[in-house]
Amino acid sequence: MRGGGGGRDLAGTPNVPRALAAVISARLATLAELETRLGAEDLYDLLEILAVDAHNRARLRALQE
């Protein structure tokens, strides 16, 4: 796993693409939904939502400090 700091002992998902793992881990979609009902464009839309949400949470935390 890349990066420094506290995440060194965290497990990764070497058998699952990062995009799928991120969306599933965030509970934005299930693997079954991604395999059957949703397409690649949906996956990347969900990744964008996930990234924007993370950015906005970080900005709000910074403003509260």
Q: What would the pLDDT profile of 40-51 be if each residue is shown by its tens digit?
A: 999 999 999 999
Mean of pLDDT values over 1-14: 72
Mean of pLDDT values over 52-61: 97
> Model's pTM, two decimal places?
0.78
Q: Identify the sign of the CA torsion 47, 53, 54, 56.
A: positive
| Predicted pLDDT at 42 | 98
Q: What percent of the chain has pLDDT over 90?
A: 83
| Predicted pLDDT at 1 | 40
